[in-house]
Amino acid sequence: MSHAVSAGHDERAAAVVATGVTRVFRDGAREVHALAAVDLRVAAGEFVSLIGPSGCGKSTLLRLIADLDTPTSGTLAVFGRSPREARLARDYGIAFQQAGLLPWRTVRANVELPLALAGVGRGGRRERADELLHLVGLTDFSDHHPDQLSGGMQQRVAIARALAESPSLLLMDEPFGALDEMTREHLQSQLLRIAAETKAAVVFVTHSIPEAAFLSDRVVVMSARPGRIRTAVPVSLDRAVAGAGPDAADELRNAPAFFEAVATVREALRGGHGDALGVDAP
């Protein structure tokens, strides 16, 4: 609570502010420190990836932001409110590693689910679902059931569902983790385009270094047991072109800045020291 958080910024505008967040799981007499004193600030519209070895608490941190779990100590703010208030106000959209679609509903009905729960009328739901399905390129599949779609398509439906209420924060827990490399790169480009179009801040959990470097304004590198933030690597790529097409995205993946970021993140993941590493590290 005594931690100074990026002085000079308007704190209310920040999408996420975590201050000294700790999460301890109790397994009988044993205590597992999933997160230890994590400080993190995600600005509005910023794309931040959380990367680290399994067990580093990156998913735990995401669940805390989403109010699917509560911190043992420390404070969290989502757009200046508590995570609980933010959840009840539906400030964020979330996508999980499993698409988690309701198999008995059509693709359209799955995308409409958040709107239906919020009490949006039939016409409004329909119109918004059409927009979203167009955005993720699944207009022709709106009347299919999830089991008729490939894994990549299901994940796109899940992203459309997360965007249903036009959230200014998108939480994503390894959404492309179970997909093949081709589909993955394709969806990454689409996600960049969507993030640019919606101007939403994104907190993206991943264990893929290239994925984190390609997508993020900033890659937050975490270490395990106890889970803490080791360093944050800023990545400057001209992502505005990434949505233009596969060629533009490939070009971005061949840019020196991209390789540099990949190398820096890899180095940070490997190095056991807590010191911050700059982008100019080898």
Partner 1 sequence: MKGVARQVLPPVILLVALVALWQAAVAAWRIPAFVLPGPAAIGEQFRTYAGPIGSAAAVTGRNAAIGLIVGAVLGILLAVVAALVRSIDVLAEPLVAALSVVPIVALAPVLYSMYGAASEQARVIVAALAVFVPVYVNTLRGLRQVRPVHRDLMRSLAARPAQVARTVTVPTAVPFVFTGLRLASSLAVISAIVAEYFGGPRSGIGSFITTAAAGSNYAQAWAYVLGGIAVGLVFYGATSVAEHLVARRSGP
152 in contact with partner 1 (CB under 8 A): no
According to the binding rule CB under 8 A, does residue 83 interact with partner 1? no
Which of 80, 100, 151, 177 is close enough to bind partner 1 by CB under 8 A? Answer: 100
Question: Can you tell me the distance from the alpha carbon of 215 to that of 122, in angstroms, rounded to the nearest whole number?
Answer: 35
209: left (phi over 0), alpha (psi -120 to 50) or beta: alpha
Q: Residue 127 CB, nearest distance to partner 1 (Å)? A: 19
Q: For partner 1, which residue of 14, 94, 242, 269 counts as binding (CB under 8 A)?
A: 94
Does position 117 interact with partner 1 (CB under 8 A)? The reply is: yes
By CB under 8 A, tell whether 244 contacts partner 1.
no
User: Among 13-21, 61-69, 177-185, 188-196, which window interacts with partner 1 (CB under 8 A)?
Assistant: 61-69
Shortest Cβ 117–partner 1 spacing (Å): 5
Asked whether position 103 contacts partner 1 by CB under 8 A, the answer is: yes
Residue 125 · residue 131 · CB < 8 Å? no
> Given the complex with partner 1, which of 88 and 276 has the nearer CB atom?
88
Cis (ω within 30 of 0) for the bond into 226?
yes
Angstrom distance (rounded) from CA 251 to CA 133: 27
Q: How far apart are CA 170 and CA 159, in angstroms?
A: 9
How far are the Cα atoms of 17, 41, 144, 181, 263 from residue 9, in angstroms, in the given order?
Answer: 11, 10, 46, 38, 30
Amino acid at 85: E
Residue 66 sits in the site that holds partner 1 (CB under 8 A): yes
| Cα atoms found within 13 Å of the Cα of residue 93, Cβ hemisphere only | 24
Nearer to partner 1, 36 or 160 (CB): 160
State the Cα angle at 200 between 93 and 159, rounded to 5°: 40
How far apart are CB 115 and partner 1 at their closest, in Å? 10
Closest approach of Cβ 87 to partner 1, in Å?
6
Q: Does 257 bind partner 1 (CB under 8 A)?
A: no
Q: How far is the CB of 99 from partner 1 (least distance, A)?
A: 8
Measured at the CA of 217, the angle between CA 213 and CA 223, to 5 degrees, comes to 60
Instruction: Return residues touching partner 1 (CB under 8 A).
Output: 63, 66-68, 87-90, 92, 94, 96, 98, 100, 102-104, 113-114, 116-118
